[in-house]
Each structure stands twice: as C-alpha cells, then as structure tokens.
A and B are shown apart, each in its own frame.
Chain A
Amino acid sequence: MRKILLGAAGLLGFLVVWQLIPTLGLADPHDLPYATDVFGWLFQEVRDLAFWRRLRLTMTSWAIGLTLATLAALALGTVVGMVPFLRRATHTTVEFLRPVPSVALIPLAVLMFGLQMRAALVIIVYAAFWQVFVQVIYGVADVDTVARDTARSFGLTRAERLRYLVLPTALPYLMTGLRLGAAVALILAVTAEMVIGNPGIGRMIELSRSSGDAVGLYGLVVVTGVLGLLVNVVFRFVERRSLAWHQSVLADEAAR
C-alpha cells in the first residue's frame, strides 16, 4: 500500500515538474509542450480509429517477428544445444554474429524488400532471434547429468526425454529469452518504422517530428513507453505462470 502511494506520488511529481518547466519559461513550449496539452492530445487520439489501426500495424510486425524468431531459435537452439559437437563448432560463429547491431541491416533490408513490413521483419527477427537462441542453448545444455543418465537407463525414448527432461530444464531459460526478445522486438519494430517508413507508430513519430508537431511527438513517446511497459508486464506474468512449479518462483512465493 505504502509502495503504491509513494509510486503514485513519484509519477504525480514528475508530471507536475513537466508542467512547470514550460510554465515557468525554462523551456520553449514549442520544444517541450505542457503535460496537459500532451495528455489532452492523447485523450483525443485514443478515440480515433486511425490511431488504433497504426498501433495494430506496429504490434502485428512485432508479433510476427517475435514468433518467427522464437520458432527458429527454438528449433536451432534445441539441436545445437543437445549435440556437443555442434555447440563447439558454432561457438565462434555465434559469438561473431550476435553482437552485430541489427540496425546495421536496415539498408540491406530496404534494398531487398523496399519500404514494407517485410523489411522491418528482417531486422526484428534478427535482433530477437539471438536473445532467444542463446538462452535455449544454455537451457538445453543445462540438463542435469545424473537425471540424463537416469532417463537413459530407464530406457526413455528420445521424445520422452525431450518432454520430461529437456523441456522442464530449458523452460526457465526459454522464458527469460522470450521476455528479452519481446522487448528487443518492440524496440526494433518502432525503430524500423521510424527509419524505413513502413506505416505504424514509429512512422507517426517521424512524421510529427518533421512537421514540427511537438505535442504529438511527446504523446507518441508516452504511447511507446506504455507499450513497452505492457509487453514487460505481460511477459513477466507469463513467465511466473509457466514456471509456477519452479524452484525460483516457489522460493519467492514462500518468502512473501
């Protein structure tokens, strides 16, 4: 209760300071508009269908990108993680490709696919893939050796071992990877729209910048922040739910 009150006070304080800066003339309202104006603008936008349509476009490319990246990472990560030979052979390649900033691929994606959602997807998938892939490899390789040998001697088939041994071990890692990947995918979905210009929230941001609409720009920044927050909250919730049986979550619950 105390936490919620203090947190609300913090948010309120921030909004008051924001409102005061242009009011007291510390910044030009053209550069930093009044908080009331920005939230007034937001209030109007959320009643406009066009706004929701753009939001849907952004979230569609986010969802498709994240799904493709997760599926690819899951398939490749499981295979590579389970075969020590492959793990050793791919190590340097992975360590080289992973730090390549995905935005470096924007020009390439534009050349290949033009100013469309597909170009954005290339970047989203590339960025989100590594987040999930690396976690899956760690997770699959983390299977307890005693448990593995036990499963072998009890004659579990390959499918059974995947289901009862590898999946439970790798699931916490996968969930972490998903949470990280979801956040990264959102960042790149918006960024791609800003730079490439495929329609969505990011393109709206770029348009309001070039037309000098500061109120709309700040309003959209708030929108992206709320989106990011929602993605974080939802994926943290899914993580806790799917790992309700897991030691880390159980210990947390017990401590409450």
Chain B
Amino acid sequence: MTALGAGRARPRDLGVRVAENVLFAVGLPVLAVGLWAVWSTRSTNRFLVGPRALLDAFRQTWIGPAFVDDVLPSLYRLLIGLFASVLLGVAAGVVIGRLRPLREILEPLLEFFRAIPPPVLIPVAMLLLGITDTMKVVVIVSGAIWPILLNTIEGVRATDSVMMETAHSFRISRWDRLWLLILPAASPRIMTGVRQALSVALILMVISEMFASSAGLGYRIAYFQRNYLIAEMWSGILLLGLIGVFLAVAFGVVERRVLRWYHGMKEVNRG
C-alpha cells in the first residue's frame, strides 16, 4: 500500500493525504467518546461514568504519590519478570534447540507446562515463596517464559543447515556461531514469543496483585471495586489499558529495529 501511495505522491496531494490519514485514525475514537459523553449525561446506570468524571478521577487517583507507590513498583516487577523470561527462555531455548536428544526428552514435559493456565501458578508460588515481591516476579516468569522458550527452540531448530555447515568449515568459533548465525536466524521466532509473553506477563502482574498484595495496580483496582469507588475503578482500568497499549507500541519499535534485516529480506523476496 505504501509503495502504491509513494508512486502517486505529488506535493499537492500530500496535505490531503495526511489529513485523510489523521481523520481515519482519530475519527472513530472521537466519535465514540462524543457519543459516550452525550449518553453519560442521560444514563442512570451507576456503574458507568462519563468521560469527564473518568478524567477527573484519573487525575486525582494516579497523578501524585499513588503513581510512585502503586504503579511504579508494579511496572518494575513486570519489567524484571519480562527481562528474566527473555534471558532464561532464550538461553534454555538455544541449548534445548541445539541438542536433539534433550529436546526429545523434554518435549512432552514442555508441552504440558505450557498448557497450564499461568494464573494457576500463583497459589503454588504463594505456598513455596510466601507473599513477597520475589513471588510476584517468579509468577510472571513462570507464565511468560513458555512462549519465548518454545519459539526459541523452534527458531534454533530451523536454522539453515547449509549455513551451519559453512560456519563449521570456516572454523567459526562456537561463540561467534551463536551470536552471528543462530540467534539472528532464530530472532523472528523469538520476537513472536516475546510478543505473546508480553500480554501474559501483564495479566499475571494484575492477577498476582489482586490475589496477594496490599499495594500495586491490581490491588488498587480491586480495592476501588470493593468500596464502590466506580470512577476510580474505571480510571484504573483505563491506566491498565494505557500500559497495555504502551507496551505493545514499545515492543513494536524494538521489533522493527531488531528485525529490520528480516522485514527487508521479505520485501525483496516479494518484490
């Protein structure tokens, strides 16, 4: 679509096209918020709030000390958990992917562990580790590691065998082979795994705090709900949504950087 657009690009059209894109991007959201505002002035449903009230609640609830006390620790645990999952998942995935007997021994076991719904592990982690920050990070890792691990195994397995043999005959060291061939070759699959892990990690962050915590984003939202602070509760949902969107956008940027060569290659193949 971009190629087609670029071919027609005349300076006169440019402004029109940008305006059109912006309109398409914000049209529906603006329309929806507008309808919502009108509707909220007439509605008597006490569980729903209008955009105005929501924004006020958002400002009062989250901007200020609550951000430092509740939101930042949650995000900190989320990021630590994600980094640990990527590190462990990729490291273990490379080893398991390279060693065929090990892979065949572990395969059914890994399939089983991946199939366990991750939130089920929260009570187990509470039993083994108590209600601590470590427990929450462990819970995030224990859920987020599987998509990364399994995708890394697949990616490493699918490394081009001719390239591997070429690297062998050129006596490229084990270490260099890992960094220059295996990891880059597996990176599209690894990134797919990380994207899946992202949403799992976010769910686990919220649930682990709803379950076993006296602080954090998940705890706050559950607390607002139990005390019928409706607008505050909605503002928490909004904040979680914003975090989800932010994570998705940030990941998109990282992915484009890491996989630039890959997308470029696909373009060439297609063209």
Contacts and interface: CB of A to CB of B under 8 A. Distances in A.
A103 interface: yes
B109 interface: yes
B28 A90 contact: yes
A149 to B, nearest CB: 17
A2 interface: yes
Contact of A9 (B105, B240, B247): B105
Report, as a range, how many residues of chain A touch the other chain. 35 or more
Contact of A101 (B108, B113, B203): B203
B105 A111 contact: no
Contacts of A105: 237
Contacts of A8: 108
A14 interface: yes
A89 B28 contact: yes
B81 interface: no
Interface in A223-256: 224-229, 231-232
Contacts of B11: none
Interface stretch (A42-50, A71-79, A150-158, A213-221): A213-221
B237 A224 contact: no
Contacts of B241: 96-97, 99-101, 104
A166 to B, nearest CB: 20
A63 interface: no
Interface stretch (B53-61, B65-73, B170-178, B218-226): B218-226
A255 B216 CA distance: 52
A3 B207 CA distance: 37
B206 A104 contact: yes
Contacts of B112: 11, 225-226, 229
A101 B199 CA distance: 7
Given A100-B240, A191-B117, A224-B116, A108 B104 contact: no
Nearest to B29: A93
Given A14-B109, A99-B244, A104-B236, A7 B104 contact: yes
A206 B113 CA distance: 20
A209 B207 contact: no
Contact of B120 (A214, A221, A232): A221
B36 interface: no
B264 interface: no
B66 to A, nearest CB: 17
B25 to A, nearest CB: 5
B156 to A, nearest CB: 18
Interface in B115-133: 115-124, 126-128
Nearest to A202: B120
Given A88-B24, A100-B240, A205-B123, A225 B109 contact: no
A111 to B, nearest CB: 5
Nearest to A195: B210
A10 B106 contact: yes
A185 to B, nearest CB: 10
A194 interface: yes
B265 interface: no
Given A92-B29, A106-B210, A99 B248 contact: yes
B26 interface: yes
B225 A96 contact: no
Contact of A91 (B24, B104, B199, B206): B24
Given A95-B245, A108-B233, A232-B115, A103 B207 contact: yes
Contacts of B126: 209
B9 interface: no
Contacts of A218: 124
Contact of B127 (A98, A99, A183, A214): A214
A13 interface: yes
Given A91-B25, A99-B245, A108-B237, 19 more contacts: A10-B108, A11-B112, A32-B128, A89-B27, A92-B25, A92-B28, A98-B248, A99-B241, A104-B206, A104-B237, A108-B233, A111-B47, A187-B118, A187-B119, A194-B123, A194-B211, A221-B121, A224-B117, A227-B115
27 contacts: A3-B107, A6-B104, A7-B104, A10-B105, A11-B108, A11-B109, A88-B24, A99-B244, A101-B206, A101-B240, A104-B240, A104-B241, A105-B237, A106-B210, A107-B221, A110-B225, A186-B117, A194-B120, A195-B207, A195-B211, A217-B127, A224-B120, A227-B115, A228-B117, A229-B111, A229-B112, A232-B111
Interface of A: 2-3, 6-11, 13-14, 27, 31-32, 88-93, 95-108, 110-112, 183, 186-187, 190-191, 194-195, 202, 205-206, 208-209, 214, 217-218, 220-221, 224-229, 231-232
The 10 closest A-B pairs by CB, nearest first: A228-B115, A107-B225, A99-B244, A209-B123, A10-B105, A100-B241, A104-B240, A225-B116, A187-B117, A6-B104
